[in-house]
Structure 1
Amino acid sequence: MKKRVLLAGESWMKHTIHVKGFDSFTTSEYEEGAGELIAALEEGGHDVTFLPNHLASEQFPSTEADLARYDVVFLSDIGSNTLLLAPDTFNRSRRTVDRTALLARWVSGGGALAMIGGYMTFSGIDGKGRWGKTALAPVLPVRCLDGDDRVEIPHGVVPDVLEGSHPLFDGIGPWPFFLGYNRTELVDGALLAATINGDPFIALRQVGKGRTAAFASDCAPHWGPPEFLRWEGYRPFWNNLVAWLTA
């Protein structure tokens, strides 16, 4: 069944200084990492709205009516400050809605939320993701750790599926390796569907009338290598996740 998915995050900008002897110059680049995930969901028949990081700060839903336009929200490699510090608050010192609290209420009332790992989700690099310090934290299936939660595994690690009969894994074969993940802790009442290096990899939770999921690694490079993007289970998995979240 077609679902309306809001995907926020998965973009970044790079400003590089090139030094050539006495001289130097700069270049700037904008990149996105959502292409494969969007393609997977659209292939599954879903309607995907993509809000890259630089647009999410201003355009992410700020009312219940705005959120009601979607069945599922994916937060992927996006820091909590992007939702907490709307331009009106950060630039003009005006009061605005706490969109992390809005999301939490929406989930409890029947919404569906998935958090995907990265340098800015969960606690993130240098603890800058800060999701564990937001109003959204109590509805997540995992607890975000204090400080930098990254686990870098350059030699790769393959997840272990614990709940192979769960509909999340229908049609899914052996998993490929990942190059890192966000370390978290399972909360009481959540289902640990898969682990990675002994830590939660996929966790699921019923929250009030809604559901949440945590995917501890990346949906794209660098933690999610090309082998993951080419994996035959890539597209079925994300569509299974949407189906479970909205069941």
Structure 2
Amino acid sequence: MTKPRILMAGESWTVHSIHQKGFDSFTTTEYAEGGGHLIAALEAAGWDVTYQPAHVAARDFPDTAEALGAFDVVLLSDIGANTLLLHPDTFARAEARPDRLASIRDYVAAGGGLIMVGGYLTFQGIDAKAQYAGSPVEEALPVTFSRHDDRVECPAGVTAELAMPGHPMLEGVSGDWPALLGYNRAQARDGAEIVATAGGDPLLVAGTHGKGRGVAFASDCGPHWAPPSFVEWSGYAALWANMAGWAAGRIG
């Protein structure tokens, strides 16, 4: 049996630091990726995961809905709209290229699955820099975004409350959810299924767009909003496998 395929884009960053020591200074650069727990959970559930860190997705993310059709699900996590809009050939060489946000929307309308995971550069994000509000990708999701910074920082922790405990995405997700440290505030569309909330706001939302399905998870898949207690939680793997399965139309 052919494995279901998921394309995951984002969850990478580079930190450039300046170390000032009196008169002298030097710089260091560190590259990191934050999707390891999620990728491991999906692969353990039988998914074939194609992972594109943000700098790779900038050039290699598929251009068209037809190309995206090679995947059962597209997952965006902590990757801003500009990374997908501004292909290097467009930004550096002024070449016209397909609008990849519109391609994602059209892929879902044709029957594909889409998952957006929250973070500083998804939903609307820090300083509103993720810029998905009003975009074609927003059209394919079961939530709408504000035009401002939509982060809700919860350093003391916020615990999910299940609004639809019998939903297929919660099958096998047992026990209390560990606290999260923040999320993006969004509004559920009319007719969408609010599966879980956090702080009174939608946390896990499911809906349809055309022939396809969209899922919004308003918090993180890894540190820092998802602390070690969350990514090491016994329900973590089942939750993400179910999200992917539901988005692909394989369950529910």
With the length of structure 1 as denominator, give the TM-score of the two structures: 0.98
Q: Name the CA distance, whole Å, in 2 between partners of 1:187 and 1:62.
A: 27
- Kindly tell me the number of residue pairs found equivalent between the two proteins: 247
Task: State the 4+ residue runs in structure 1 displaced beyond 2 angstroms.
Answer: none
Question: What residue is the counterpart of 1:37 in the other structure?
Answer: 38
Residue 222 (structure 1) aligned to one of 224, 241, 245:
224
Letter of the 1:209 partner, please give it. Answer: K
Give the superposition deviation at 1:20: 1.1
Give the superposition deviation at 1:63: 2.2
Matches within 5 A, 1:8-19: 8-19=9-20
Q: Name the CA distance, whole Å, in 2 between partners of 1:64 and 1:195.
A: 31
Question: What residue is the counterpart of 2:247 in the other structure?
Answer: 245
Give the superposition deviation at 1:242: 1.3
Give the superposition deviation at 1:191: 0.8
Give the superposition deviation at 1:138: 1.4
Matches within 5 A, 1:38-117: 38-117=39-118
Question: What residue is the counterpart of 2:143 in the other structure?
Answer: 142
Question: What residue is the counterpart of 1:187 in the other structure?
Answer: 189
Task: Point out the more displaced range, 64-73 or 33-42.
Answer: 64-73
Task: Point out the more displaced range, 132-141 or 83-92.
Answer: 132-141
What whole-Å deviation, never above 9, does each CA across 1:69-98 have from its counterpart, x for those lacking one?
Answer: 110000000000011111111111111100
Give the superposition deviation at 1:132: 1.1
Letter of the 1:85 partner, please give it. Answer: L
Q: Name the CA distance, whole Å, in 2 between partners of 1:137 and 1:169.
A: 24
What whole-Å deviation, never above 9, does each CA across 1:80-120 have from its counterpart, x for those lacking one?
Answer: 00111111111111111000001101101100000000000
Give the superposition deviation at 1:135: 1.4
Task: Point out the more displaced range, 62-71 or 22-31.
Answer: 62-71
Question: What residue is the counterpart of 1:233 in the other structure?
Answer: 235
Q: Percent identity?
A: 52
- Contact persistence 2:204–2:216 (CA under 8 A): yes
Letter of the 1:203 partner, please give it. Answer: V
With the length of structure 2 as denominator, give the TM-score of the two structures: 0.96
Q: Secondary structure at the match of 1:70?
A: coil
Q: Name the CA distance, whole Å, in 1 between partners of 2:241 and 2:101.
A: 25
Q: Name the CA distance, whole Å, in 2 between partners of 1:186 and 1:3.
A: 28
Letter of the 1:188 partner, please give it. Answer: D
Q: Secondary structure at the match of 1:188?
A: coil
Q: Name the CA distance, whole Å, in 1 between partners of 2:137 and 2:20.
A: 43
Give the superposition deviation at 1:64: 3.0
Give the superposition deviation at 1:133: 2.7
- Contact persistence 2:66–2:107 (CA under 8 A): no
Letter of the 1:10 partner, please give it. Answer: E
1:172 matched to 2:149? The reply is no
Q: Name the CA distance, whole Å, in 2 between partners of 1:51 and 1:162.
A: 33
Q: Name the CA distance, whole Å, in 2 between partners of 1:109 and 1:6.
A: 17
Q: Name the CA distance, whole Å, in 1 between partners of 2:50 and 2:219.
A: 22
Could you list the runs of 5+ residues in structure 2 that have no partner in the other structure?
A: none
What whole-Å deviation, never above 9, does each CA across 1:214-245 have from its counterpart, x for those lacking one?
Answer: 00000000000000011000101111111111
Give the superposition deviation at 1:16: 0.2
Q: Name the CA distance, whole Å, in 1 between partners of 2:94 and 2:199.
A: 44
Question: What residue is the counterpart of 1:208 in the other structure?
Answer: 210
Letter of the 2:196 partner, please give it. Answer: A
